[in-house]
Structures are given as C-alpha cells and as structure tokens.
Amino acid sequence: MIAHDFDYHAPRSLADALALLGQADAAVLGGGTWLVPNMTYGRQRPSAVVDIRRLGLDAIEIAGDIVVGAGVTYRQVLQSEALRAKLPLLAMMAGQVTGGPQIVGQATLGGSACYANPSSDVPACLVALDATLRLASRTGHREVKAADFYTGAFQTTRRPDEMLTHMVFAPPPGGAGCGYHKLKFSTGSWPIVTAACIAVAATDGGPRHRLAVGGANAVPVLLEIDGRDPDEAVAARLPSLISQEWSDEFAGAGYRRQVAPAIASRALRQARGAR
C-alpha cells in the first residue's frame, strides 16, 4: 500500500507528459517494477506520477540504426525476430534478466536504464553496445552516450524534467560475436557482476573487443581491447578501472572486484567463439 497522496496523470502526447514533468516533483511510470515498490516502502514520495504507457514508446524500429522505445519490455525484445538477429547481445541479456516471467513481461528497458542500479543487467549491456540515449524535455531534446549517462549508483545525467524516450543502436558489423555472462547466487537474486562483450574483426585481422562490466563498480566499466590475448588485458586493466566500488547486501566490494575479471573473461571467450 502506498501511504502518501499523489496526483496520477496519464497523458496521451509526449508534449503533455513533458509539461507535467517540468511543473511538478513528478516520477515517470513505465512498467512500474521499480517505482511502485519504492513508493510502497516510502523510498520515493513523488507529488505526481506521470504514466507514459499511452505515448507509443513501446515500438522497435529497424531501418539503418535500431531504435528501441523506452517503453519496450524484455519480452518484446525476446519476441522480435528482427531485433534478435540485429542485436543478439540485447536478446541474451533480456533472456537472463532477474525476476522471472512477471518482470520479463512488465519491466521496461528504459526504466531499468534510468534507475541505474549497479547490479542491473541493463546498464553494462547498453554501454557495450555503445547505445545512444535520447532524452526529451519541454526545452528540447538531447542525446547522451550510454557510457556517459551513468554518474554513480542510482544516478544518471537525466534531469528531473527530462524523460528517456528512445535508445539508439548502430548494428554491429557482419561477423561480430557477442557474449553475456553474470554471477549471481540464486535464480531470483540480483547479479553480483555482469559482463557484456562485442567482438569484431579489426583492420589488421585481429579481434577487437568492446567489453562492459557491471556490478563491480557504481557505474559500468568499459574496456576497449585490441589484440589476440584479451584475457591478459582484462586481468591487467580491469581492477584499476574500478574506481567507485559497489557493495550491497548480496556481496561486498572486495568480492566483486575479485570475481569481475573471471566473469569478464567468460563473456570475452563467448564473444570470440561466436565470431
């Protein structure tokens, strides 16, 4: 039960939704899998809730760049054959997301991206895919790279009057491989560490890797690795990039730092094997 009063709005146009966000201490409601529990337990007390489910942000467009609406659910990702073919890494992540059928069918990619839980599956995957996030407000629109979007645990560059509307992906080149691995202690628990990787052929014929690691740091850690021995590069570089250590009730910072290279190497090997 939500104990405090708030105004509920269900706008039918983006302009109306942005006007509401600009006028009030408002929270955006998409799937509600983060917002509703937080309001129930008093962790968030917005004066207004703006329901964006009538704004048409649940579409997937594939024409050149791949544009995924912020309201697209994990289930939609898994059910889209075209998206699975173009962005198999996104489908890998969606197929392993924590929470079971209810979360898969209700939670949105945009909501998970904006909530910025360091242990979430989504942030590192967006960074590995070099996603561009489109943000809208009453005063205009802007685009932010996923690698620049996250500033801390549960913190992003999104302003209170802004809404994430779309995530844009350039399709990986032909022959690219991908890998996704994570460590968690039970089926329903949050991941301890996640790792998402894209591997493509470099101009010299050797592999090039874009690897993002989540859960060990307050924000995803990005490594761009050239060469034929990426495991050595991960072991040498990853620990020094963990500058904002992250702990929660599932694991401490030291353990996360210790296991991160092994999880990252598994994603690397999977991506190399898929090329």
- Domains assigned to the chain: 7-51 (3.30.43.10), 177-274 (3.30.390.50)
Length of the chain measured in residues: 275
Q: Supply 226's token pair.
A: 């050239």
- For residue 141, CA distances in Å to 46, 121, 133, 165 come to 24, 26, 11, 10
Q: For residue 207, which amino acid is it? A: P
Average pLDDT over residues 28-36: 92
Report d(CA 212, CA 156) in Å as an integer.
17
Could you tell me how far CA 187 lies from the centroid of its own chain? 20
Angle made by CA atoms 235, 237, 242, in degrees to the nearest 5: 105
Q: What is the pLDDT of residue 99?
A: 80
pTM as predicted: 0.94
Q: How far apart are CA 143 and CA 166, in angstroms?
A: 10
Contact status, residue 230 vs residue 209, Cβ threshold 8 Å: yes
Task: Quick: pLDDT tens for 234-270.
Answer: 888 999 999 999 999 999 999 999 999 999 999 999 9
Instruction: Give mean pLDDT, residues 183-210.
Output: 85
CA distance 49 to 8: 5
Evaluate whether 198 touches 177 at the Cβ level (below 8 Å): yes
